[in-house]
Structure 1
Amino acid sequence: MAADTESLPEEGLALWLTEWKVSTKIPWLGRHLVASVGSTAAGQLDFFLHPDGQAVKVVMLRVHPDFQRRGLASVLMDALYAAHPTAWINHGWRTENGARWWNGYREPAPQRNVHNRPPEEWATYFDAVDVASDKAHNAHQNRHYGLDGHREAVYRYGERLEAEAALHAAAYRPVTPVRVDPGAQPLHGAARLVLPPAVHEYVHDRAQDPDARAAALLEHLGHGNLPREAYWNTSQQAAFADVHHEDLFDRQPSGPPVTHVVFTLAPLQASVPPAARALATSVEFEHPGDVAVDVTGLAWRQADRPYLTHQASYAPAVAAAIVPLSAQQASAAYRARYDEEGFLRAAPRDGARPFADRADQIRAMADRLLRGQAARARTHRPSSAPPQTAVQQPSTPAQRPPGPSQRP
C-alpha cells in the first residue's frame, strides 16, 4: 500500500462507539465504530462482539472517498484493538481493496489475530472451518494481486487447513441470544425534528421552565405521533446515539437546525403487541397499528450542541401512542383520542370532557408563555421612546392544516 498522501486534521476528528442493530438471528452484539470530521461522517468500522467481550468479528471497514489515503482506516482498526485489549480478532475475508490496505497496515497485536494462531486457542469462539475458508480466500487474493499480506505472521500460511480445522470444529460453542423484555424496564426512543423557528427558540431557551418546554414540544409533535421507525433502547444514551448516527449520515450541510428528542416510556407490561423485534438491549415494534404507551420523561438537544441537554419528567405519566403505520390500521381507542394527524381531539360538544386531566396543564402552559412574552416586551422597550400599548401578535400555528382541534 502506498504511503498516505495527506494527513488527517489535528482538530475535529472524533471517534465514537454505538450499537449496531442487526438481525435477531445473530446472537453476538453489533457495534459501529464511527469516525467523523466536523459534522461529516468520514469512516465506519462494523463488527460483532461476543457477549463475554473476549472475541470480535470484523464485518466491514469503509472510508469516505474524501478521506481515503489519509490513514483513517488504520486509526479505526487501531481503536478497535485498543477498545478490546484482550479479545481475539477475526478479520474474516477481504476484498481487493481490503487486501491492498491490509498489506500496508501494521497490526498492533498480531498475536490476537485468529488467522495467526492455531485453532485450539480460539475454536470456542469461531467455527474453525469458516476461519480456514476465509484464510484460503485471503491467500488467493494475495497471490492474485502480488501482495505479501504479512505472510510470515499467518499460521501455516498456504498449507491445506481443512483437515486441521475439522479437528477443532466440535470445540465451537454457539451463543444463546439474549432478548430485552419491554415490560421489565423503561424504554427510550429518539426522533429528529426540524421545528418552526418560534418553537425551536422556546424549547431550547434554558431560562424557561423545562416542564413547560417539554409539554410544548410534545404538544407540537402530537401525543399520538411517537416515532414508529425508532429502536426503543434500555438507556437514554443509546437512544441519543441512534439518532446522532442517523443525523451524521443524513444531515444537510446548510439546512435548518435539527433537534434530537428522546422519549422515555414506562415499562409496557401487558400492552406489548406480539409483533416486536427484540434485540439484546433494544426493541423495534413491527406491529402495524398503534402502540399505547405512557411517557414519563423527555430529553432534547440541538444536533450540533450535544453538550446542552434539556430534561423534564412527567408525574404522573402522560398517555401517548406510537403512531400507526396508517390511519386505517389505528385502533378504535387511538381514533377516539387522536385525529388522523396524531393530535388530541377537541372536547366533544355534548359537554363530556374525556381529556379534562390535560386541560389545566395546557392552560397553565399557555399562561406562562403569555407572561414571559409580556415580560420580555417590557424589558426590551427602548428607554427613549414613549410607552406604547403592547399589541399581541398571533402565535405561529403548528405546521399542519387547521382543524377543529387547532389550539392557539
Structure 2
Amino acid sequence: MAASAERLPEEGLALWLTEWKGTRFPWRGRHLVASVGSSVAGQLDFFLHPDGQAVKVVMLRVHPDFQRRGLASVLMDALYAAHPTAWINHGFRTPEGARWWNRYREPAPQRNVHNRPPVEWADYFDAVNVARDKAHNAHQNGHYGLDGNRDAVYRYGERLETEAALYSSAYRPVTPVRVDPASQPLHGALRVALPPAVHAYVHDRTQDSRARAAALLEHVGHGNLPREVYWNTTRQAAFEDAHHQDLFDRQPPGPPLTHVVFTLASLHASVLPAARALATSVSFEHSGDLAVDVTGLAWRQADRPYLTHQGDFAPAVAAAIAPRSVEHASAAYRARYDEEGFLRAAARDGARPFADRAAQIQAMAERLLRGQAARARTPRLPSAPSQAVVQHSPSPGQRPPGPGRRA
C-alpha cells in the first residue's frame, strides 16, 4: 500500500464514507468515495451486514484520469481496515476488474470467502451464488491468461456445485431494518446559492443565531422544504448527503453554495404519507405537500464544513415539504403558501392563526353570550350584611388590579 500511495497525486486525497440510498438490498449500503482536490477520483460501493461481520463488494471504479496510480488498492485496503473482522465477498469481476485483481495484494486473504470453505461463512452468503462467482472469475483468469492469486483460492474437495449445495440451506436472509419516521426527529439537506447580502448575514457569527436561522428559512420559503431528499436520523448524515451531491453534481463556477439542514419534529403517524424507509433514513413517496414543524436549522458553506452554524426554534415553526407541483398541493397548503412556496400575507402577519377552528370558536362565543343573557334576567339576591374589608395598598410602582390584569 505504501508504494501505491507514493504514486498518488499531491493535490489532497480524501476518503468519504456515505450511505448508499439508491438500493433496496436488506443490508446497509455504503459509498466509499475518493476525491482528489475537487474531483471524484474513485468509488467503492458495498453492502454491510447489520451485525458488521460481512461485506459484499458491488462495484469498484476509478476515473480514467486517476487510473494506474494505486487508487483502487487504497480504496480496497481502506475497506479491509474499516471492517477488520468481517468476511469479504468480492463477487464476480469484469475483465478490467480481473486484471486489477491480478496485480492487487490482498491485506487479509483469509477473510475473503472465495479463499475459505463454505462451512465458515455460509450463514452470511448463499454458497451457490458464491460458487457461481468463483467459476466466473476462474473463467476470466483463464481467458486472459491471469494468475488471479489462485494459490489463495479455496479448492473444493468435490464438484463445486455439489459442495456449495450442501451449505445453501445455512444462509440466513436478513430482515431489513426500517426507520420509523414518527419515532424521532428527522434531518434533511438543501443546497442553495444565497444572494451576497443574505449569505454575508447568515454566515456572520457575531449575529444572533436564531435570527439568522429565521432569515434563512424566510429566504428559502416556509413551504419549500426539499422533497427529493432522504430525511436522516442524524444531522451529520444530512450534511454528508449534501457533500456527496456536490461531488457528483459539479456546478459551473459561481457563488459559494450553502448546505442547509432542516430539523423536523417527529411526525405524527396519522399524517404520514407513503414513505420509503431505510435503516437510518426515509424518503416520502407522495406527490403532495407534507405539513411539518421545524425545530431548528444548521448550515455551513460547502467549502468550509468545519464552520457550522445552528439556530433552534422554540416553539417550532410551521412549514411544509413542498408538493411536486402546485396541482398536487393541498387546500391547506394553498391557503398558507403562494405558488412559490412563500407565506401569504395573512399567514405571515398572524391574522388568521385559528382559521381552522373558526366554527369551534364561534360556537363557544354563542354559548358565552347566551350565559350572559340568562344571568341578566335572573333577580338579584338581597345583599349580605357588610363585613370588614382589608385592602392591601399596592407597593410603590405597582398598579392596582384592573380589567385584564390578575390581582
1:354 equivalent to 2:340? Answer no
Deviations 1:7-61 (CA, angstroms, capped at 9, x unpaired): 113451111211111433x210000111111221111100000000000000000
CA distance in 2, matches of 1:352, 1:258: 32
Structure 2's unaligned 5+ residue stretches are 355-407
Residues 295 and 315 of structure 2 are in contact (CA less than 8 Å); yes or no, is this contact kept in structure 1? yes
Higher deviation after alignment, 302-311 or 246-255: 246-255
Please name the residue that 2:276 is paired with: 277
CA distance in 2, matches of 1:110, 1:122: 14
CA distance in 2, matches of 1:258, 1:308: 14
Deviation at 1:347, TM superposition (A): 2.2
Amino acid at match of 1:9: P
Please name the residue that 2:14 is paired with: 14
Residues 271 and 292 of structure 1 are in contact (CA less than 8 Å); yes or no, is this contact kept in structure 2? no
Residues 5 and 70 of structure 2 are in contact (CA less than 8 Å); yes or no, is this contact kept in structure 1? no
Structure 1's unaligned 5+ residue stretches are 357-408
Please name the residue that 1:394 is paired with: none
Please name the residue that 2:393 is paired with: none
What percentage of aligned pairs have identical amino acids?
Answer: 82
CA distance in 2, matches of 1:10, 1:272: 52
CA RMSD after TM alignment: 1.9
Please name the residue that 1:190 is paired with: 189
Residues 185 and 265 of structure 2 are in contact (CA less than 8 Å); yes or no, is this contact kept in structure 1? yes
Task: Give the TM-score, by structure 1 length.
Answer: 0.83
Residues 4 and 74 of structure 2 are in contact (CA less than 8 Å); yes or no, is this contact kept in structure 1? no
Higher deviation after alignment, 267-276 or 174-183: 267-276
Deviation at 1:5, TM superposition (A): 12
1:128 equivalent to 2:127? Answer yes
Please name the residue that 1:63 is paired with: 62
Summarize the alignment of residues 369-388 of structure 1 with structure 2, pairs less than 5 Å apart: none
Summarize the alignment of residues 37-186 of structure 1 with structure 2, pairs less than 5 Å apart: 37-156=36-155, 160-186=159-185
1:328 equivalent to 2:327? Answer yes
Please name the residue that 2:365 is paired with: none
Amino acid at match of 1:15: L
Task: Give the TM-score, by structure 2 length.
Answer: 0.83
CA distance in 2, matches of 1:208, 1:339: 30
Deviation at 1:270, TM superposition (A): 2.7
Deviation at 1:352, TM superposition (A): 8.0
- Taking a change above 3 Å as real, the CA distance of residues 309 and 4 of structure 1, as seen in their structure-2 partners, is closer
Amino acid at match of 1:342: G
Higher-Rg structure is: 2
Deviation at 1:251, TM superposition (A): 2.5
Deviation at 1:274, TM superposition (A): 3.3
Amino acid at match of 1:124: D
1:263 equivalent to 2:245? Answer no
- Taking a change above 3 Å as real, the CA distance of residues 284 and 355 of structure 1, as seen in their structure-2 partners, is same
CA distance in 2, matches of 1:113, 1:159: 20
CA distance in 2, matches of 1:82, 1:113: 14
1:233 equivalent to 2:227? Answer no
- Taking a change above 3 Å as real, the CA distance of residues 112 and 66 of structure 1, as seen in their structure-2 partners, is same
CA distance in 1, matches of 2:148, 2:222: 57
SS at match of 2:345: coil
Amino acid at match of 1:147: L
